[in-house]
Amino acid sequence: MPTETPASPQVPAPTGAENTPAPGTPGAAPTEPVLSVRGLEVDYPVRGRARRGPRHVRAVAGVDLDVYEGETLGLVGESGCGKTTLGSSIMRARPEASGRIRYRAADGRVLEALDLSGDDTTTYQREVRMVFQDPQSSLNPRMTLRDIVGEPLRMLLGLRGDALEARVREVMERVGLHTSHLRRYPHAFSGGQRQRAAIARALVPGPRLVVADEAVSALDTSVRSQILNLLQDLQGDLGLTYLFVSHDLSVVEHVCDRVAVMYLGRIVEVAPTDDLFARPLHPYTEALISAVPIPDPRLRGTRERIRLTGEVPDPSRPPTGCAFHPRCRYATDLCATEVPAPREAAPGRTVACHHAEELDLAGITERTVPGTTSTNPPARATREPPTKQE
């Protein structure tokens, strides 16, 4: 197994990427969002169904979401709720998407991501990048690491020759990959090293916003902490903004400043991470949080696990009213008929539930560190040392 070099702090921050504190960060002043999603809808055509059945799946059903510069915004929800579709719409990979996605570029201009052309497309592709869950399939097995990491430089910045090679080497070292591996193919690397290569490919043109879709979900626990630490270090050094998509709330709790909870194509709650976990306002959030494992054996059994009854509904036939009502223990007649609109329930907190103010939902106060048996760790900025090398 090839060994890795320690990460080097050499990569300069991309232009205009000051690390402005996000809402929810203690002492933060509200800032303009770097990305604003409004009324986003994505319908996938349904094939092979009975002729009179629904013709489409509404994977994203009218999402509004703001991402602030320098923050890590978590996007959570069960499998199939539309997280990847939302992330890939931001990456302009969903031609079915309608609505608006506005991005404030490094030069201050506001770009409409779903309606780009010419140089604006290149600017967007350079500044907004994605890291996928499975580097095995996202990295071309027939390309060397040099070509994989160098391709965005050729395509987006027109770099060639020594300039390209120098930048590739710089970024590889920054993500902890040895430059002697430049001519190797992805299959020669461990899962963690492949994910570092995927991060290098995202990083190489100097992005400001990175959409990480289940970026650590396929990794072993110890490798996962190393990649999370790398992502946090890169954010601190380069002033990156992350949209961190995950189904794993214990990871989200550890790395995110704010969290958006998604259910059946809609955002049902947005809050600063600490507030969301301590006192959820939406019953779906309460149920998700109740399933987060308690690492400390002394505390196990002190918290009720809310078992969600029934399956996630078929998005091509969503329930009437609140889409969560068939599974909600607090549902009333109103919930079955009227869709709850998202509203501000407290400063910095948005919820879409008819009864949010009346409910007193359970959160968790003990904090968890993913992959350990510790509780109540220090603040998110400090981290555990890696437990073993990849």
Pick one of 209, 230, 276, 353: the residue that binds ligand SF4 (CB under 6 A): 353
Q: Per CB under 6 A, does 331 bind ligand SF4?
A: yes
Q: Cα separations (Å) of 114 from 88, 93, 96, 348, 377?
A: 12, 10, 10, 27, 41
**Which tokens hold the place of 169?**
């080497």
Q: Per CB under 6 A, does 322 bind ligand SF4?
A: yes
DSSP output for 306-373: -PPPSPPPPTTSPPSSSTTGGG-TT--HHHHHSPPPPEEEETTEEE--TTTTT-------S-B-TTSS
Kindly state the smallest distance separating residue 328's Cβ from ligand SF4, in Å: 3
283 makes contact, choosing from Mg ion, ligand ADP, ligand SF4, none, with CB < 5 to 8 Å by partner type, with ligand SF4
Query: CA–CA separation, 277 vs 288, rounded Å?
Result: 10
Nearest to Mg ion of 165, 248 (CB atom): 248
Q: Cα separations (Å) of 261 from 31, 249, 280?
A: 22, 10, 10
**Which tokens hold the place of 116?**
């780009």
Nearest to Mg ion of 84, 195 (CB atom): 84
Q: What residues have CB less than 8 Å from 12, skipping those under 6 apart?
A: none
Binding region for ligand ADP (CB under 6 A) out of 79-87, 193-201, 236-244, 322-330: 79-87
Q: Per CB under 6 A, does 315 bind ligand ADP?
A: yes
Angle (CA) 309 315 320, round 5°: 70
Kindly state the smallest distance separating residue 298's Cβ from ligand ADP, in Å: 34
**Phi first, then psi: what are they for 235, rounded to 5°?**
-60, -45
Nearest to ligand SF4 of 44, 330 (CB atom): 330
Beta bridge pairs of residue 67: 35
315 makes contact, choosing from ligand ADP, Mg ion, ligand SF4, none, with CB < 5 to 8 Å by partner type, with ligand ADP
331 makes contact, choosing from Mg ion, ligand ADP, ligand SF4, none, with CB < 5 to 8 Å by partner type, with ligand SF4
Which helix (H) or strand (E) is 119 found in, with range? helix 118-127
7: nearest Cα among 184, 220, 235, 233: 233
Q: Per CB under 5 A, does 285 bind Mg ion?
A: no
CB 197 within 8 A of CB 177: yes
44 makes contact, choosing from Mg ion, ligand ADP, ligand SF4, none, with CB < 5 to 8 Å by partner type, with ligand ADP
Q: Per CB under 5 A, does 241 bind Mg ion?
A: no
Q: Per CB under 6 A, does 215 bind ligand ADP?
A: no
Pick one of 34, 61, 69, 84: the residue that binds Mg ion (CB under 5 A): 84
Number of residues that bind ligand ADP (CB under 6 A): 12
**Which tokens hold the place of 34?**
């770097």
Q: Per CB under 6 A, does 74 bind ligand ADP?
A: no
Query: CA–CA separation, 119 vs 127, rounded Å?
Result: 12
Kindly state the smallest distance separating residue 80's Cβ from Mg ion, in Å: 8
Pick one of 7, 37, 40, 57: the residue that binds ligand ADP (CB under 6 A): 57
80 makes contact, choosing from Mg ion, ligand ADP, ligand SF4, none, with CB < 5 to 8 Å by partner type, with ligand ADP
Residues at the site binding ligand ADP, with contacts judged by CB under 6 A: 44, 57, 59, 77, 79-85, 315
Residues at the site binding Mg ion, with contacts judged by CB under 5 A: 83-84
